Structure 1
Amino acid sequence: MRAAAEVRAVAVAAAVLALGVPACGDAVGGGGGHPARGAASPAGPRVVRRVEPADLLPADLDLVVRVDVARMRAGLGQAASDELARRALDEAPDEALESALQRADVVWLGLRLADLEEGDRVVVLEGRMAGFAPDPGRWEAAPSAQDVGAVDRVAVFGRRGGVAGASVGSRADTARIIALGDRAVALVSAVEVSSVARVLRDGPDARRGDPAAEGIVSLDLRARRLPPYVARRFPSIGALVAGVARVRAVASLHDDGVRLDVELVGVDEAGAARARRFLEVLRDNVEDVRYAELMKALSIEQVERTVRLRWLFPAPLVLALLSGRSPG
Structure 2
Amino acid sequence: MRAAADVRASVVAAAALAGLALIALALPGCGDAAPGLAGERGAKLPAGPRIVRRIEPADLIPADLDLVVRVDVARMRAGLGQAAAEALARRALDEAPDALLESALRRADVVWLGLRLADLEEGDRVVVVEGPMAGLTPDPDRWEPAPSAQGGVSVFDRRGGATPRGDTARIVALEGRAVALVSAVEASSVARVLRDGPDARRGDPAAEGIVSLDLRARRLPPALERRFPSIGALVAGVERVRAVASLDDDGVRLDAEIVGVDAAGAGRARRFLEVLRDNVADARHVDLMKALSIEQVERAVRLRWLLPAPLVLSLLSRGSPG
Structure 1 residues 20 and 215, CA, compared in 2 at 3 Å: closer, same or farther? closer
* Superposition map of 1:42-191 within 5 A: 42-43=34-35, 48-84=52-88, 92-144=96-148, 148=149, 151-162=150-161, 167-168=162-163, 170-191=164-185
Q: Report the TM-score when normalising by structure 2.
A: 0.84
The aligned amino acid for 1:97 is: L
CA distances 1:26-59 after superposition (whole Å, capped 9, x unpaired): xxxxx999899xx964439987211100010000
Among 223, 229, 232, which residue is 1:235 paired with? Answer: 229
- 1 CA distance for matches of 2:227 and 2:154? 47
Structure 1 position 317, deviation (Å): 3.2
The aligned amino acid for 2:153 is: V
- 1 CA distance for matches of 2:158 and 2:104? 17
- 2 CA distance for matches of 1:249 and 1:90? 19
- 1 CA distance for matches of 2:14 and 2:124? 19
The aligned amino acid for 1:314 is: P
- 2 CA distance for matches of 1:66 and 1:202? 24
- 2 CA distance for matches of 1:238 and 1:87? 30
Among 265, 280, 290, which residue is 2:274 paired with? Answer: 280
- 2 CA distance for matches of 1:89 and 1:204? 23
Check whether the contact 1:51–1:152 (CA below 8 A) recurs between aligned residues: no
The aligned amino acid for 1:223 is: A
Check whether the contact 1:75–1:253 (CA below 8 A) recurs between aligned residues: no
- 2 CA distance for matches of 1:215 and 1:138? 36
Among 287, 294, 300, which residue is 2:288 paired with? Answer: 294
Structure 1 position 224, deviation (Å): 1.6
* Superposition map of 1:2-17 within 5 A: 14-17=16-19
* Superposition map of 1:12-23 within 5 A: 14-17=16-19, 19-20=21-22
Structure 1 residues 83 and 317, CA, compared in 2 at 3 Å: closer, same or farther? farther
Check whether the contact 1:120–1:189 (CA below 8 A) recurs between aligned residues: yes
- 2 CA distance for matches of 1:32 and 1:61? 24
Structure 1 position 182, deviation (Å): 1.0
Among 258, 267, 285, which residue is 1:264 paired with? Answer: 258
Identity %: 78
The aligned amino acid for 1:179 is: A
Structure 1 position 142, deviation (Å): 1.1
The aligned amino acid for 1:243 is: G
Structure 1 position 76, deviation (Å): 3.9
- 2 CA distance for matches of 1:34 and 1:41? 15
Structure 1 residues 159 and 47, CA, compared in 2 at 3 Å: closer, same or farther? closer
Structure 1 position 225, deviation (Å): 0.9
3-state DSSP of counterpart to 1:191 = coil
Check whether the contact 1:16–1:318 (CA below 8 A) recurs between aligned residues: no
Q: Report the TM-score when normalising by structure 1.
A: 0.83
| Residue number in structure 1 paired with 2:309 | 315
Structure 1 position 161, deviation (Å): 3.3
- 1 CA distance for matches of 2:77 and 2:27? 39
Instruction: Provide the alpha-carbon RMSD of the alignment.
Output: 3.0
- 2 CA distance for matches of 1:95 and 1:272? 44
Structure 1 residues 265 and 92, CA, compared in 2 at 3 Å: closer, same or farther? closer
Structure 1 position 82, deviation (Å): 4.0
- 2 CA distance for matches of 1:176 and 1:17? 27
* Superposition map of 1:212-251 within 5 A: 212-251=206-245
Structure 1 residues 139 and 197, CA, compared in 2 at 3 Å: closer, same or farther? same
The aligned amino acid for 2:61 is: L
The aligned amino acid for 1:271 is: G
Check whether the contact 2:267–2:296 (CA below 8 A) recurs between aligned residues: yes
Structure 1 position 14, deviation (Å): 2.2
- 1 CA distance for matches of 2:123 and 2:311? 30
- 1 CA distance for matches of 2:246 and 2:91? 22
3-state DSSP of counterpart to 1:14 = helix
Structure 1 residues 20 and 67, CA, compared in 2 at 3 Å: closer, same or farther? closer
Q: How many residues align?
A: 299
Check whether the contact 1:64–1:110 (CA below 8 A) recurs between aligned residues: yes
Structure 1 position 115, deviation (Å): 0.4
